Amino acid sequence: MSQKPRAVLWDMDGTLVDTEPYWMAAETTLVESFGGTWSHEQALQLVGNGLMDSAAVLRAVGVDMPPEAIVEKLTDDVRHSLVTQGVPFRPGAKELLRDLHSAGIRTALVTMSLRRMALSVVDLIEFDAFEHIVAGDDVEHPKPHPAPYLQAAELLEIDITDALVIEDSITGLRAGTASGAVTLGVPHMIPLDGYGAHALWPTLEGRTAADVIDLYTTTKAAQAEGALR
């Protein structure tokens, strides 16, 4: 018998929207303004990180600004890119989000971007997409700590084991699995094999609420049999 998750908890950057190139461009411009260099490989290391953790890395390569100022600068630059270049939703993400709503499955957004960045994205979705947003400035411990996902479950008044998490980064997968949620990886810029996801889908395109329910049901059944944690 199918068992619906009580909620699906979405990551934002790289999972819901393809903003990672905007972040990488903002990081490159900032590092170069202080005479440094910033490679694509270095940028990939920051995918999914909390912004203060990323600020510490940028300071280490020569960005001579307080961490809070780095976070504000990057956020402003990415928001400007969203305004001028648009919000590129990941393939199938918005369609799946809408189908989850039709199936009566609740949703929340869990992102390490600042709340004002998250609102900039959510405000451009033409339906009431998320009941709650947990942003980077709402949590003491960023991903890969499970706290952001546990906070979302608390806001929804559900047990985290009744939720399914969708993530595109290693950091996010670690947060999702550590929280106790069923965790789905949808790789974007970096491979996710071997990092604990209960399933990996190459894309959300063509996926429906029925696919999410099936994944949740089969994972919970396997957990009940002791095959998975």
Q: What is the pLDDT of residues 112-143, one digit of tens each?
A: 999 999 998 998 899 999 999 999 999 999 99
Q: What average pLDDT does range 1-17 have in this prediction?
A: 92
Q: Whole-angstrom Cα distance, residue 39 to residue 27?
A: 10
Q: What residues pair up with 13 in beta bridges, in sequence order? A: 17
87-94 average pLDDT score: 94
Domains and CATH numbers, the chain: 7-18+89-224 (3.40.50.1000), 20-85 (1.10.150.240)
| Alpha carbon distance 171, 155 (integer Å) | 22
User: Does residue 67 contact residue 55 with C-beta atoms inside 8 Å?
Assistant: yes
Please say if the pLDDT value at position 1 is more than 60. no
How far apart, in Å, do the first and last CA atoms of the chain sit? 21
Whole-number average pLDDT of the chain: 94
17 band by pLDDT with thresholds 50, 70 and 90: very high
Provide, rounded to the nearest whole percent, the portion of the chain with pLDDT above 90: 88
Q: What is the mean pLDDT of residues 66-91?
A: 93
CB-based contacts of 82: which residues, under 8 Å, 6+ apart? Answer: 19, 22, 120, 121
- Quote the pLDDT of residue 10: 98
Distance CA 2, CA 71 (A): 43
pLDDT score for 226: 82
81 with 26: CB under 8 angstroms?
yes
